[in-house]
A and B are shown apart, each in its own frame.
Chain A
Amino acid sequence: DGGITQSPKYLFRKEGQNVTLSCEQNLNHDAMYWYRQDPGQGLRLIYYSQIVNDFQKGDIAEGYSVSREKKESFPLTVTSAQKNPTAFYLCASSVPGQGIYGYTFGSGTRLTVV
């Protein structure tokens, strides 16, 4: 599946619950990213990680948390503090450098609050 796998494809969350979205890549990429996609909003950066055990907040990090314990994995937790979590979540990875490579995206997870 393009070397980067997101699961599950669909996820339903009850009010007040934390949920974790999985992202795994076998491309040997150092950098990984999480984006949120809403209609008409484009792709907004939640968190990114350049190397293992290091990650940085993006533009809309509030209500989200991540970890990067392994190079291959970059899970995203949507906490109960995220008031409007219904969206399409995309994970991506890239080879770090001076901007000479684009991203490889996963197939996405659609999260719905019920």
Chain B
Amino acid sequence: GENVEQHPSTLSVQEGDSAVIKCTYSDSASNYFPWYKQELGKRPQLIIDIRSNVGEKKDQRIAVTLNKTAKHFSLHITETQPEDSAVYFCAAKAGSYQLTFGKGTKLSVIP
């Protein structure tokens, strides 16, 4: 089955700096890659996603890049703010119904 590795597990940045979270996947058939943000005690919320026919997607301060050859994708957050502090999960889907999730990255933005 699919295996998703996510790094780093924790990340601290100063407010206004950029944050980058990286994920790798194992199944070359994977064609959908969402990112979820989970605030403490709350449900994961989809923040951005990318499909395998696209190399990059941007939504305001958030961007995701995909390298199909290397089987890795990354989340980029620019101009970080304290409200960006949360746990972020990457995921991959390989043509079946289930998403396989990474183990999460706890992002702390220091004011």
Which A positions have Cβ atoms within 8 angstroms of B? 2, 31, 33, 35, 40-45, 48, 50, 58, 90, 94, 96, 98-100, 102-103, 105-108
Contact = CB atoms under 8 A, between A and B. Distances in A.
A43 B101 contact: yes
Contacts of B43: 2, 90, 105-108
A107 B41 CA distance: 8
Interface string B15-50: 000000000000000111010100001111110010
Interface residues of B, number: 29
B44 A100 contact: no
A53 to B, nearest CB: 16
B11 interface: no
A58 B98 contact: yes
A47 to B, nearest CB: 10
B89 A43 contact: yes
Contact of A103 (B9, B46, B51, B95): B46
B98 A33 contact: yes
A100 B98 CA distance: 12
With most chain A CB atoms within 10 A of its CB, the pick from B36, B46, B101 is B101
With most chain A CB atoms within 10 A of its CB, the pick from B6, B9, B46 is B46
Contacts of B100: 45
A31 B34 CA distance: 17
19 contacts: A33-B98, A40-B9, A41-B103, A42-B104, A43-B44, A43-B89, A44-B101, A45-B98, A48-B97, A90-B44, A94-B97, A99-B32, A99-B96, A100-B32, A100-B51, A102-B46, A102-B49, A105-B45, A108-B41
Nearest to B93: A99
A24 B51 CA distance: 29
A42 B14 CA distance: 25
A102 B101 CA distance: 12
A44 B102 CA distance: 9
